[in-house]
Amino acid sequence: MEMPKGEAGIEPVRLGRDSNFKFECHKEVKCFTKCCRGITITLTPYDIVRLKNRLDLPSTEFLAIYTEPQLMEKTDLPMVTLKMLDDEERSCPFVRDDEGCIIYEDRPTTCRYYPLGVASLSHKEGADDEGFYFFVNEPHCLGFEEDKEWTVTEWRKDQGVDIHDEINAEWTDLVVRKRSFPPNIKLTEKSKKMFFTASYDIDQFRRFVFESTFLDLYEIDEETVKKIKEDEVALLEFAFKWMKWALFKIGDFTINEDAAKKRQKR
């Protein structure tokens, strides 16, 4: 993805894992919670799982109440952003002036990264460059005046984004891979709907796997079936792998030919 331009159209400085910076955010910082207003928060698949479980909502209901559908730049893939409040500042629905973030332990990946942004490079087979980082430059942010020093690696670990990135890794690769396609290659509406369900509506995807002919059509080993039935994160990662196979024929999914023939006759 392209790096956003900073003030005067200057391209932000690229940061690596070992780059150092000073930053800290706490209630005593005068700009506390300002970064939670008037912004766009893109939600990743694992963000949805964490948030819908925190609020004790089915994923379909969470998506309807708290998100807005969008299209990813240069991919034509569906995505979701957090629906902000309809107030003067377009505030995050989970921020409070005195408390800050009320779902802090389960906050989205974008919030965890702040004040850093992360950019992925175009997909190249065999490339080991996982992207780079940059500062999200906001004039109101006073956190940079604090004395706490970090490396990018230390910040990622402290904020828990390393776990989020690990779980979302296959999905991120899928998005970056699609971004590298020529712009004239479009997905069908059916493929987009499949991508949306597998990415964000984990409860609907579970029904798709276990309440349809999916397990008859695909030869999935018993251990994997048991794991994805019991472990929601495992089901999410399974969804990413299946999408990569379904969209790009990458992976080791095997179709049951007899089941496929019966399906074609219907």
Report which of 162, 134, 161, 158 is spatially closest to residue 24, judged by C-alpha positions.
158
229 with 248, same domain? yes
Record the pTM: 0.87
User: Is pLDDT above 60 for 209?
Assistant: yes
User: Is pLDDT above 80 for 116?
Assistant: yes
233 with 249, same domain? yes
Identify the pLDDT of residue 11. 53
Q: Which helix (H) or strand (E) holds 132?
A: strand 132-135
Mean pLDDT over 214-232 rounds to: 96
Dihedral sign from CA coordinates of 144, 166, 240, 67: negative
CA dihedral angle for residue 172, residue 163, residue 199, residue 232, rounded to 10 degrees: 150
Domain boundary among 141, 176, 211: 176
- What range defines the domain where residue 102 resides? 12-176
Identify the pLDDT of residue 6. 43
| Model pLDDT for residues 131-164, shown as the tens digit of each residue | 689 988 778 888 888 999 999 999 999 999 999 9
Domain boundary among 176, 206, 231: 176
Identify the pLDDT of residue 265. 55
| Model pLDDT for residues 25-69, shown as the tens digit of each residue | 988 888 988 899 999 999 999 999 999 999 999 999 999 999 999
* Rounded Cα–Cα distance for residues 259 and 217 (Å): 5
6 within domain boundaries: no
194 within domain boundaries: yes
64 within domain boundaries: yes
Identify the pLDDT of residue 4. 44
170 with 235, same domain? no
DSSP 3-state assignment of 95?
A: strand
Q: What angle do CA 48, 79, 132 make, to 5 degrees?
A: 90
Identify the pLDDT of residue 259. 60
Mean pLDDT over 242-251 rounds to: 92
Mean pLDDT over 213-225 rounds to: 95
98 with 203, same domain? no
Identify the pLDDT of residue 178. 87
Identify the pLDDT of residue 266. 55
Identify the pLDDT of residue 7. 40
pLDDT > 70: percent of the chain: 87
Q: Which residue has the higher pLDDT, 3 or 70?
A: 70
- The mean of the pLDDT values for the chain is 87
Buried b (16+ CB within 10 A) or exposed e, 36-59: bbebebebbbbbbbbbbeeeebeb
Identify the pLDDT of residue 180. 82
